[in-house]
């Protein structure tokens, strides 16, 4: 009787293409035929590193299916296709032993025991680290030879000589990127704010470094990472390398960037690439806050009941505090403030948004019987949306990985002299724009929803929370109302505010939104006119 098996295949880079998977499948089929094994299901991951098992949907589905699987063998072409991490290999092997499943590798000529699997994973991990070291060593050598080692900085273009940059001063009627850089420095020293500069560039249709719209952070950059138009030392002819290190989070399997220590950063003078003089650069640096304290946002908690939950209905951007009018907080679209690229110039009184939301919630919490049915339908929908959101995130992440690999391949082909700088510039710019579009699409995806469980006692507790918040000035979160505020915030995914001809349309998403929509007399989700207390859309605010 033939033994039954799952087969798993993977390749790491886009350069390998699906032919790598086809080769592994052919190898597995040959092994299975020779050893009288029936492959009942195949799993695969495309263009995903083997450094972690947490970001591989194919392997995840395989491991989740072991409980119900009636198989004898997990078959791979080579153990490094399964994982290159010794800790992950130990975990996988424990799962297989628990389910009485053997691990077979074609390259290792048969069944693999735990010790062999662990040793091979350790070898794979060492190979990854050795490759990374060799790449970084080569990059530093290229840097000291005056070559560019990363993506093309804004303000420059590639030359026909691989690895070399030149200042983009434009050509004919085309305004060069270097001219935009000089203009930004000039307008900043002239007193214009980064937000104002971004708004002006967007109004003129000038593409940003990523091909999309400008915003204040693009211009200001980051002090710790030394990036941004106003902070990057490349503009005074000093190229810096090794500012960041990529590390993999063991909890999520995702790579994140960390700022390296100052002594690890390599600086190389490239005076021929200077766009701004040193004096201008230093005067701009003096305009930044000089405090060395960490950014307070690292320690900040939500200050108001709806902090971080408000969205602009015109651009789906966030909304933040604009000012205080007679002691009352007014909020405004952050995108409009940062880049002037949103048409929603209205300001809204935050306390009126809070009052309307709490009134709707209080009314619905009185309907105990309807709540039970509502929650059942709500959690069913959240389960569906969670699966849909996760799948959409995976698709976008895969597309971004593919584009990054294409970008890296273009640089390799350019360095090899396969085409000149003008072709590379065009291709890299297009890819950057595509990546920026995908990043925006990913940021706009709703958070993965969680199920909500409410029983009568919990509903009664929420009633008390609403009453507690309502009895005081509930916009601000204090130590006294913190518990009630956090409970109410958990009922809300986001609140979208849209100006209309008649007033303001408010849409609440999340459990609170469903409660309000279930009302026979909606308080929210419809039009709230100026006479009911909301400030109507007013241009120029």
Angstrom distance (rounded) from CA 386 to CA 449: 5
Q: What percent of the chain has pLDDT over 70?
A: 78
Tell which residue, 344, 335, 321, has the closest CA to residue 216. Answer: 335
Q: How confident is the model at residue 518 (pLDDT cuts 50, 70, 90)?
A: very low
Contacts of 441 (CB under 8 A, 6+ apart): 396
Give the residue, 135 or 235, on which the prediction is more confident.
235
- The pLDDT of residue 485: 75
Dihedral over Cα of 197, 202, 203, 206: its sign: positive
Phi and psi of 55, rounded to 5°?
Answer: -115, 30
Q: Count CB neighbours of 257 within 10 A.
A: 11
pLDDT above 70 (res 539): no
pLDDT, residue 71, reads 94
Is 70 exceeded by the pLDDT of residue 94?
yes
Domains, the chain: 3-131 (3.40.50.1390), 156-292 (3.90.1750), 310-532 (no CATH)
The predicted structure's pLDDT at residue 4 = 94
* DSSP 8-state class, residue 68: T
Query: What average pLDDT does range 236-257 have in this prediction?
Result: 77
pTM over 0.75: no
Q: Which residues pair with 227 in a beta bridge?
A: 222
Residue of 75 and 150 predicted with greater confidence: 75
Per-residue confidence (pLDDT) for residue 289, from 0 to 100: 77
- DSSP secondary structure letters along 173-200: TBPPHHHHHHHHHHHHHTT--HHHHHHH
DSSP class per residue in 7-69: EEEE--SGGGTTHHHHHHHHHHHHHHHHTTEEEEEEEEESS--SS-STT-HHHHHHHHTTTT-
The phi and psi torsions of 309 (rounded to 5 degrees) equal -105, -15
DSSP string, 281-309: HHHHHTTS----SPPGGGT----BTTTTT
For residue 236, is pLDDT > 60? Answer: yes
Length of the chain: 541
Given a contact cutoff of 8 angstroms between Cβ atoms, the answer to whether 41 and 59 are in contact is no
d(CA 2, CA 14): 36
Q: Is the pLDDT of residue 402 over 80?
A: yes
Tell me: pLDDT of 31 over 90.
yes
Output phi, psi for 212, to 5 deg.
-100, -140
Give 258 or 285, the one with higher predicted confidence: 285
Q: Tokens for 278?
A: 């040193």
Using CA atoms, how far apart are residues 8 and 173, in angstroms rounded to an integer? 56
pLDDT above 80: residue 251 = no
Q: 255 vs 375, which has greater pLDDT?
A: 255
Query: Does residue 230 or residue 474 have the better pLDDT?
Result: 230
List the single range of 101-115, 175-189, 328-342, 361-375 with lowest mean pLDDT. Answer: 361-375
Task: Please determine, for residue 114, whether its predicted confidence score (pLDDT) is greater than 80.
Answer: yes
Distance CA 206, CA 229 (A): 15
Round to whole Å and give the CA distance between 512 and 488: 9
Q: Higher pLDDT residue, 465 or 519?
A: 465
Percent of all residues in the chain with a pLDDT value above 90, rounded to a whole number: 19
Per residue in 478-491, pLDDT tens?
777 777 777 777 76
**Cα(first)–Cα(last) distance of the chain, in Å?**
79
pLDDT reported for residue 516: 43
Are 439 and 400 in contact, with CB atoms under 8 Å apart? yes
Instruction: Burial-class residue 138 by CB neighbours within 10 Å (0-12, 13-18, 19+).
Output: exposed
H/E stretch holding 468 reads: helix 456-471
> 376 falls in which pLDDT band (50, 70, 90)?
low
Q: Nearest 5°: phi and psi at 42?
A: -115, 145
For residue 458, what pLDDT is reported? 56
pLDDT for residue 541: 28
Where residue 15 falls among pLDDT bands split at 50, 70, 90? very low
Q: What is the pLDDT of residue 284?
A: 92
What confidence score (pLDDT) does residue 462 get? Answer: 65
Which has the minimum average pLDDT: 183-187, 263-267, 389-393, 520-524? 520-524
Judge whether residue 100 has pLDDT over 80.
yes
Average pLDDT on 119-139 reads: 80
**Does pLDDT of 379 surpass 70?**
no
Instruction: With beta carbons less than 8 A apart as the criterion, state whether 338 and 320 touch.
Output: no
Task: Spell out the residues 6+ positions from residue 58 whose beta carbon is closer than 8 angstroms to its own.
Answer: 8, 10, 43, 44, 45
Which residue reads 């001809």 in tokens? 501
Other beta carbons within 10 angstroms of residue 537's beta carbon come to 19
Q: Going edge to edge, which strands form the sheet with 110-111?
A: 37-45, 3-10, 73-76, 102-105, 110-111
- Average pLDDT over every residue of 177-184: 94
Per the CB < 8 A criterion, the answer to whether 399 and 435 are in contact is no
Q: Which residue has the tokens 């039970």?
A: 372
Helices 350-365/456-471 angle, 10° precision = 150
Mean pLDDT of the chain: 78
């Amino acid at each position: 009787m033939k033994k039954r098996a799952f087969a798993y295949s993977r390749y790491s880079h886009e350069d390998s293409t699906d032919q790598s998977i086809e080769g592994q499948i052919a190898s597995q089929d040959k092994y299975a035929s020779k050893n009288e094994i029936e492959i009942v299901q195949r799993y695969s991951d495309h263009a995903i590193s083997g450094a972690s098992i947490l970001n591989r949907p194919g392997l995840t589905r395989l491991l989740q299916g072991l409980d119900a699987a009636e198989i004898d063998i997990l078959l791979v072409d080579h153990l490094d296709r399964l994982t290159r991490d010794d800790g992950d290999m130990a975990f996988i092997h424990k799962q297989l032993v628990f389910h009485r499943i053997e691990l077979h590798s074609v390259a290792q000529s048969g069944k693999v025991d735990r010790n062999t699997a662990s040793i091979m994973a350790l070898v794979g991990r060492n190979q990854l680290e050795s490759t990374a070291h060799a790449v970084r060593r080569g990059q530093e050598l290229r840097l000291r030879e005056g070559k560019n080692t990363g993506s093309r900085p804004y303000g420059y273009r590639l030359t026909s000589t691989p690895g070399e940059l030149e200042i983009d001063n434009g050509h004919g009627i085309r305004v060069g990127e270097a001219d935009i850089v000089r203009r930004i420095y000039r307008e900043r020293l002239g007193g214009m704010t980064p937000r104002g500069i971004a708004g002006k560039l967007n109004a003129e249709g000038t593409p940003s470094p990523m091909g999309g719209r400008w915003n204040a952070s693009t211009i200001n950059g980051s002090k710790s990472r030394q990036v941004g138009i106003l902070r990057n030392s490349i503009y005074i002819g000093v190229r810096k390398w090794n500012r960041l290190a990529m590390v993999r989070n063991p909890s999520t399997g995702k790579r994140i960037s960390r700022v390296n220590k100052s002594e690890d950063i390599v600086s190389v003078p490239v005076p021929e690439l200077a766009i701004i003089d040193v004096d201008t650069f230093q005067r701009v640096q003096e305009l930044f806050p000089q405090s060395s304290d960490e950014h307070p946002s690292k320690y900040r908690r939500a200050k108001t009941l709806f902090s971080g939950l408000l969205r602009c209905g015109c651009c789906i951007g966030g909304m933040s505090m604009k000012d205080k009018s007679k002691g009352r907080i007014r909020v405004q679209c952050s995108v409009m403030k940062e880049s002037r690229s949103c048409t929603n110039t209205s300001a809204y009184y935050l306390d009126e948004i809070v009052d309307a939301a709490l009134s709707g919630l209080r009314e619905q919490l009185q309907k105990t019987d309807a709540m039970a049915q509502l929650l059942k339908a709500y959690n069913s929908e959240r389960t569906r949306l969670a699966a849909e959101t996760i799948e959409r995130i995976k698709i976008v992440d895969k597309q971004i990985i593919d584009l990054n690999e294409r970008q890296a391949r273009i640089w390799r082909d350019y360095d090899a002299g396969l085409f000149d700088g003008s072709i590379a510039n065009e291709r890299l710019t297009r890819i950057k724009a595509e990546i920026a579009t995908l990043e925006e699409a990913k940021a706009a995806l709703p958070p993965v929803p969680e199920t909500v469980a409410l029983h009568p006692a919990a509903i009664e507790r929420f009633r008390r929370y609403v009453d507690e918040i309502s009895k005081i000035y509930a916009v601000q979160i204090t130590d006294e109302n913190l518990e009630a505020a956090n409970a109410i915030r958990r009922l809300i995914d986001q609140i979208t505010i849209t100006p209309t001809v008649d007033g303001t349309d408010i849409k609440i998403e999340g459990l609170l939104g469903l409660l309000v929509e279930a009302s026979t007399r909606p308080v929210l989700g419809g039009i709230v006119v100026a006479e009911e207390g909301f400030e109507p859309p007013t241009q120029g605010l």
